[in-house]
Amino acid sequence: MPEYTKKIVKHPHLYISLLTKSPKLPCVIFVHGGPGLNGALIEHLIGHEHIFSKLKYNIVVYDQRGCGRSKMTDEAVTHGDNLIDLGDVYTSLKTYLSSEVVAIMGHSYGAKLVFDYDQLSGFKIPMVLVSMAPSSITPRLTNLLLDLS
C-alpha cells in the first residue's frame, strides 16, 4: 500500500482499518457488501490496483459484526445490529481522527446500511450508494469493480 499507510483502529469487536494518504486529508468510510463479506477486497484494490489513487481522502474500511477480521459471534447478527455498529464506527472515528469524516460510501448491502442509517439518524454528511440492494435480504451479487465503474 505505497500510496496509503494502513493503521488498525482499536475497537472491542470490529476490525477497523484506517488507510491514510495524508493526515491533513478528511476521511471517507467504506461499508462493504454482504452480509457475510468483509473489507479485505477494497483494501486489496486500494493497495494493489490503486483504484482510488486520485482520491483526495483517507479511507476507513471496517468489517461488519461477525464478518472477516471482526470478532466472530455465535449469535445471529441483525440489520439493526449492523446499523448500531455503523453509528459506533462513525462515533469512534470522530474521537480517534484528527481530521473529519466527510462521507460514507456503501456497496450493495453496505449501501442499504448507509441509506437506512441516514433515514433513522438524520445523518448530515454525504453518502455514496454503489449498487444498492432492493432489500437487506437480496444483496446484489455483482462484481465490486463493475459497480464502481
pLDDT more than 90, % of the chain: 40
Boundaries of every domain in the chain: 5-148
Per residue in 54-109, pLDDT tens? 889 999 999 999 999 999 989 999 999 999 999 999 988 887 887 889 999 988 88
CA distance 61 to 63: 7
Angle between helices 79-96 and 109-121 (to 10 degrees): 80
Shortest CA distance to 31 belongs to which of 141, 123, 109? 109
Q: Indicate the average pLDDT of the chain.
A: 83
What are 123's three cell numbers? 445523518
pLDDT recorded at residue 134: 54
* CATH of span 5-148: 3.40.50.1820
Whether the pLDDT of residue 132 is over 60: the answer is no
